[in-house]
Amino acid sequence: MKVGVLSVQGAFAEMEAYWRSQGANVFEIRQRSDLERGLDLLALPGGESTVQGKLLKDLGLFASLKERIDGGLPVFAVCAGLILLAEKIEDDPTVWFGSLPVAVRRNAYGRQLGSFRTVGDFDGTPGVPMTFIRAPAITAVSPEAKVLSVFNGQPTAVRWRNVTAFTWHPELNAGGLRPI
């Protein structure tokens, strides 16, 4: 499987390491020509969603990626990646891809001290370690989406059509977990 990891900013190295550990053929997406390599899955890493979104536009990657996402390319999105996909960002008129029917609140657990670990159920598997890093919260989710994990009563991972998206970082504690 060929996995393209968006590598313009943020925790793309961790995302690459995760997919390599899953046996994928991993390459970095930094410019438009990288998309010509063909990909079976797009991985959107954590980082700073505002910076990533702006770079996607400046680098001319945004429209091509949106077309692929909306066209059914499997997407694995973490944290900032989820924010880029969300249809709505609370208290913010910005919408990036707008491809995932969820609303999110950025930095929902506090800005600096908002990073923590917990353990929970993921898609029916108990005891999955979950690392939150300045994570967003999912404040609303379409009934058509499947909620895969919950923390404090709010969804923390969802699957909808071709997209699986997390507010936490599965790539950091993956172990034997195969999220998709």
Cβ 160 to ligand GLN, closest distance in Å?
A: 19
Q: Does 167 bind ligand GLN (CB under 6 A)?
A: no
| Cα 152 from Cα 163, distance rounded (Å) | 23
DSSP 130-160: EEESS--EEEEE-TTSEEEEEETTEEEEEEE
Q: How many residues bind ligand GLN (CB under 6 A)?
A: 11
Neighbours of 3 (CB within 10 A): 22
DSSP string, 3-66: EEEE-SSSSHHHHHHHHHHTT-EEEEE-SGGGGGG--SEEEE-SS-HHHHHHHHHHTT-HHHHH
User: What's the min distance (Å) between Cβ of 38 and ligand GLN?
Assistant: 27
Q: Is 79 a known active-site residue? A: yes
Q: Candidates 1-9, 22-30, 45-53, 140-148 — which segment interacts with ligand GLN by CB under 6 A?
A: 45-53
Residue from 3, 26, 41, 83 in contact with ligand GLN (CB under 6 A): 83
Question: Can 28 be counted among the known catalytic residues?
Answer: no
Tokens of 163: 């997209």
90 binds ligand GLN, rule: CB under 6 A? no
**Does the footprint of ligand GLN cover residue 133 (CB under 6 A)?**
yes
Q: Kindly compute the dihedral angle of the four CA atoms of residues 141, 144, 145, 150, in this order, to the nearest 10 degrees.
A: 60
Asked if 80 is part of the footprint of ligand GLN (rule: CB under 6 A), the reply reads yes
Least separation in angstroms between CB 142 and ligand GLN: 21
Q: Taking CB under 6 A as the rule, does residue 107 contact ligand GLN?
A: yes
CA distance 133 to 168: 7
**Any idea which residues carry the catalytic annotation?**
79, 169, 171
Residues that bind ligand GLN (CB under 6 A): 46-49, 79-80, 83, 106-107, 133-134
